[in-house]
Structure 1
Amino acid sequence: MHPYEDATRPVDERVEDLLARMTPEEKAGQLFHSMLMMNADGTPVTETDGSTLPLTTPDLIEDRRLTHFNLLGTYGAREMALWHNAIQEMAAGTRLGIPVSLSTDPRHAFTDNIGASFNAGAFSAWPEALGLAAIGDPELVLAFADTVRREYLSVGFRTALHPQIDLATEPRWSRQSGTFGSDAKLTGELVRAYVRGLQGESLGKDSVAAMIKHFPGGGPQKDGEDPHFPHGKEQVYPGGMREHHLEPFRHAIAAGCSQMMPYYGQPIGTDWEEVGFGFNKGVITGLLREELGFAGIVCTDWGLLTDSTIFGEPHEARAWGVEHLSVAERTAKALDAGVDQFGGEQCPEVIVELMASGRISEARVDTSVRRLLREKFLLGLFDERRYVDPDEAAETVGRADFAAAGAAAQRRSLTVLTDGPLPLTGRPKLYVENVDPAVAAAYGEVVADPAAADLAVLRLRTPYEERPNLFESFFHSGSLAFAEPELSRVLGLLATVPTVVCVNLERPAVLPEIAERAAALIADFGASDEALLDVAFGRAKAEGRLPFELPRSMAAVEAARPDVPNDTADPVFPHGHGLAL
């Protein structure tokens, strides 16, 4: 037994022993946090036609020596556990047997965006982070994160690529549903609870490491466009609120978060270098490391180096400000800036070449590898936590008490904006749209014609603009206003029958006409039809308060400053609005 394999030795001693045994190629492999998919039956993907990423599992683990992976897709709990064990077995067979660290984007709510999150599937279903913010209860967030931890542990996920603690200050920005809204103080309180629920008081064998994103706050995007895409690369601070966006990250660091992800954005008009945050030494080393004292792992957002294709379509560079640099030059600049790991990439040969040429010293690489290995040891991956029990995974994921807690949180998060006839009584004749008629039948007599109904229940989603790029179509951007002919159709229904309207607010919808004419208006941030109808009929209590304001017009949105919270003129509903029901 080598010293690094001896669980009785101190972690730092084990790290140094293993580091000393590693080749440049094995060290380089640690610096990449790539993506994997699995077969539905729980077996690893071992064959591909080579036209798309990710590459096969053996290629990444055995040939490229990678040991950090983000699982894409939704699968059964037992199958995920079987797959996890299979890739751990594959890793155990390599020269040094370094275990795999498996990560995931959020999996406990309703949004399904391959670039940001997956719907709950087998896991317990809770409201989106915005819904947790609408409730505003740190103890609930602690319980939620602890549930996430237990479900993740059972299938082998050891790094959560969340929480996302950007402030929702630009109403058009597409990533708001993953945030805790526009309030920096509340976000700070909730992220402390979230980190404690995932990691415990300190990182250990029962922890899931929290990767906080997106440093130093991705909310103030020019025109609300997202920096995954070239028309959204500029991050601006016309209101001078840069420090305000940093406040939640101070709380995350104080809570002991293990990892941090810089965003794609390119700061414009500040004293920072005008390059993407993943390449920005003043932000990563100067601000995050030196000023804020963060000593954990810094992992870039996905795909900064190689401009890979997504869904077979060319994807323009997300290396904003350094698009002209080669892959090797981008890699060296990010390492110089203080990055430890590259998300969504798998080109360790570039690191090897940089070390061989002397452009990057092996000592610099060792600094990052040391951090990455230390976390694996702390999480118990070299010892009792390398494998999981598929039977336990099947029993734990989506467990009845977890599901019940998530369902209760959905109901609490619903936000009553106008109450009109609520709560409803009796068994009215119901006309429903975007509501399961079989569910509605438990509350009233469902009819097909709104003119024959006593009441209608209509569920809507925040409007967005269609974008031609398939990947961008998952990121709902652009106008927040209901357009014709849909607006007239909705208003026609509201004129025909008293209507309870529920709008899913993944972004702040512009809906003054609907708010004025709906019999009652409810906001949801991820809730089932049962949750909505329970609240409407007084069987459950809605406690939500708006985590951001709802603007009166797109003109008001366009005139607002993107870094200033709740900055639109004369909003229809202000931040914090919500009626007790």
Structure 2
Amino acid sequence: MTAAAEAGRPDVIAPVPDDAPYKDASRPVEERLDDLLARMTVEEKAGQLFQDMVTVGEGGTLAEPDAVFGTPSVHEYVVEKHMTHLNVLGAPGTATDLAAWHNRVQEVAASTRLGIPVTIASDPRHAFSDNPLAALAAGPFSQWPETLGLAAIGDPDLVERFADTVRREYVATGLRTALHPQVDLATEPRWARASGTFGEDVALTTALGVAYVHGLQGTGAVAREGGLDGAFGAASVSAMSKHFPGGGPQLDGEDPHFAYGREQVYPGGRFAEHLEPFRAVIAAGTRQLMPYYGMPVGLEVDGRPVPQVGFGFNRPIITGLLRETLGYEGVVCTDWGLVSDAEIMGRPFPARAWGVERLSRHERVAAILDAGCDQLGGEACPEIVVDLVCDGSVPEERLDVSVRRLLREKFLLGLFDEQRYVAVEAAARLVGTPEARAAGRAAQSAAVTVLTSAPDGAAHLPLTRGLRVYAEGVPADVVAGYGEPVATPAEADVAVLRLTAPFEDRGPGFEQLFHAGSLEFPAAEVERVLAVCDAVPTVLAVYLDRPAVLAPFVGRAASLVAEYGASGEALLDALTGAEPARGRLPFDLPSSMAAVVESRPDVAHDTAHPLFRAGHGLGRV
């Protein structure tokens, strides 16, 4: 007996005829929605309101429960919990594996009473990155620079073409929701999530965010060039733009994945500026939005104080601002894990229930639904929603509002019809094509930002091919394609050193994936690098996932460049001019940590006397 029946409601679980209207692709979507909703039990509706993580088994098989992330099996999610939204983790070995896994998931879904297809979501996968948080391993997908690198290039047309590539590769493997783009403004230099943004400039972020949404959803000029009609549909990927209403202004730059980073502050009064990119992507038609974990402190909107609770629990922000003021009618999915404590990578990971920590899990779910959210990310507890309906805390009609939004996406994406399964053998041909890989490598090179260049000598950019090169961070076999690798600075004509923007080690577990804290290089590392610079003309290439303090190296390194995710080949292509570097900084580079500490977290370009301003770059070399 279902919980609904136990509560005295009719227990209507009837077989579904093959000619049910919702199965008929010729009928209007709203008619199909009405029919399907009328057939659903409370349990089946509740399952739609949750999206959790899942892994791909070896060779595209359905994986067993994952001990590292604590995730159950597909069968438990889909059959037992009635969940039909899953967020895939990790990178399968091949596109064929991912496509085959997707089809197996859909077969499980097809075996259920209603046969509601599963929507598979993914975080970004297309970046060349050393930080697993910044982007999941690309695996078979084409590799491009991180989002900051796209911002360094600053070309909306290129961003739309990149996102169109993502769309085509996702669709080929069955990924139909993108948990991106991230259109937060990175106004706090220490914030660990800067690498996924377009930097700190509101105009640039707005232009590139809109282009990204059009590329993913197939609604822009690039899709029309490729033969699509420009409407959201069966060839689209649903874009979940994040993190509403802007997640950049974190107190001391700490991240609200963790209790010490929960406070989001606006000492400069720039809330409206952080909201601007979201206004733009809403106007561009983003299908979904994700609120951030942050708990606003001292924030007023339209003259009224905003409650000090995380944005996913915040009714004045989600219903008042987003739904009523901005008129947004799409899906709102919370960030992951607002309700349940968990264990991730062997360590306890409390729920990010900031401001409502004392509420029970049932009360947290009720608060999220009351705020106006449609779906709970990183959670798998639909039984709580059933309890809330059965005890009268949440009316079933409230579920219907969100379930209708969520199911509409499935119908429009063609998941009930021709797109339920993908062509497994075609995936290998369509994903990571030579053309896409070449375009990604070219973009990695183009994003390289020349900050200083030696006026003459061996380290003048572009580098001459055939030099004897001492390299750190570039394998010798890669260097050999451009010059003669040597083992010591003393043997070299020029040195090429790759550094990563500094961060503080926060210990083992999930926290280690967040590059947070000081932006200054340790004194011992500065001394070591400068010793090389003094021994041989040196090109210093710094990977910027945050705006590092580079003052110790200016004037000592012969040439100084920034990159945002680049292979060794892509970097050397840029340094030798084979693919000219044309990046511009997507944020200011501070002159010191003192300037960072004194700046206001919500104000762009607010560090005093920056070493290099946003937009700086010496262009083509």
TM-score (norm 2): 0.92
Residues 95-146 of structure 1, C-alpha deviation per residue, up to 9 Å, x if partnerless?
0000000000000012365555213221001011101111110000110000
Distance in 1 separating the partners of 2:67 and 2:194: 35
Contact kept? 1:503, 1:524, Cα under 8 Å: yes
For the structure 1 residues 24 and 223, does the alpha-carbon distance in structure 2 shift closer, same or farther, using more than 3 Å as the test?
Answer: same
Distance in 2 separating the partners of 1:454 and 1:50: 51
Structure 2 counterpart of 1:527, one-letter code? A
CA drift of 1:224 comes to 0.3
Task: State the identity as a percent.
Answer: 60
Residue equivalent to 1:259: 288
Root mean square deviation, CA, Å: 1.1
Contact kept? 2:340, 2:350, Cα under 8 Å: no
1:82 aligns with 2:100: yes
Residue equivalent to 1:236: 265
Residues 12-35 of structure 1, C-alpha deviation per residue, up to 9 Å, x if partnerless?
000010000000000000000111
Structure 2 counterpart of 1:261, one-letter code? M
Residue equivalent to 2:274: 245
Residues 29-73 of structure 1, C-alpha deviation per residue, up to 9 Å, x if partnerless?
00001111111210002x448785211111111100100000011
Residue equivalent to 1:55: 72
Structure 1 counterpart of 2:480, one-letter code? A
CA drift of 1:165 comes to 0.4
Structure 2 counterpart of 1:493, one-letter code? V
For the structure 1 residues 152 and 112, does the alpha-carbon distance in structure 2 shift closer, same or farther, using more than 3 Å as the test?
Answer: farther
Distance in 1 separating the partners of 2:172 and 2:137: 18
Q: Aligned runs of 1:6-405 on 2, under 5 Å?
A: 6-45=24-63, 47-48=64-65, 53-75=70-92, 76-111=94-129, 115=133, 117-201=135-219, 202-270=231-299, 271-405=305-439
For the structure 1 residues 326 and 137, does the alpha-carbon distance in structure 2 shift closer, same or farther, using more than 3 Å as the test?
Answer: same
Residue equivalent to 1:510: 549
- Residues 51-60 or 27-36, more deviating: 51-60
Match of 1:442 among 459, 463, 481: 481
CA drift of 1:513 comes to 1.2
- Residues 207-216 or 407-416, more deviating: 407-416
For the structure 1 residues 579 and 249, does the alpha-carbon distance in structure 2 shift closer, same or farther, using more than 3 Å as the test?
Answer: same
For 1:485, what is the secondary structure of its paired residue? helix
Residue equivalent to 2:228: none
Task: Count how many residue pairs are aligned between Structure 1 and Structure 2.
Answer: 580
For 1:490, what is the secondary structure of its paired residue? helix
For 2:344, what is the secondary structure of its paired residue? coil
CA drift of 1:395 comes to 0.7
Residue equivalent to 1:474: 513
Structure 1 counterpart of 2:210, one-letter code? R
Residue equivalent to 2:3: none
Contact kept? 1:112, 1:119, Cα under 8 Å: no
Distance in 2 separating the partners of 1:58 and 1:111: 33
Distance in 1 separating the partners of 2:511 and 2:134: 11
CA drift of 1:11 comes to 0.0
For 1:416, what is the secondary structure of its paired residue? strand
For the structure 1 residues 402 and 54, does the alpha-carbon distance in structure 2 shift closer, same or farther, using more than 3 Å as the test?
Answer: same
Distance in 2 separating the partners of 1:405 and 1:549: 27
Structure 2 counterpart of 1:550, one-letter code? L
1:496 aligns with 2:535: yes
For the structure 1 residues 318 and 291, does the alpha-carbon distance in structure 2 shift closer, same or farther, using more than 3 Å as the test?
Answer: same
Distance in 2 separating the partners of 1:416 and 1:51: 41
Structure 1 counterpart of 2:536, one-letter code? V
Residue equivalent to 2:498: 459
Distance in 1 separating the partners of 2:123 and 2:568: 25
For 2:469, what is the secondary structure of its paired residue? strand
Residues 135-177 of structure 1, C-alpha deviation per residue, up to 9 Å, x if partnerless?
1100001100000000000000000000000001000000001
TM-score (norm 1): 0.98
Structure 2 counterpart of 1:368, one-letter code? S
Distance in 2 separating the partners of 1:90 and 1:180: 39
For the structure 1 residues 113 and 301, does the alpha-carbon distance in structure 2 shift closer, same or farther, using more than 3 Å as the test?
Answer: farther
Structure 1 counterpart of 2:82, one-letter code? R
For 2:347, what is the secondary structure of its paired residue? coil
For the structure 1 residues 115 and 301, does the alpha-carbon distance in structure 2 shift closer, same or farther, using more than 3 Å as the test?
Answer: farther
Distance in 2 separating the partners of 1:498 and 1:39: 49
For 1:80, what is the secondary structure of its paired residue? helix
Contact kept? 1:230, 1:317, Cα under 8 Å: no
For 2:99, what is the secondary structure of its paired residue? helix
Q: 5+ residue gaps in structure 1?
A: none
1:572 aligns with 2:611: yes
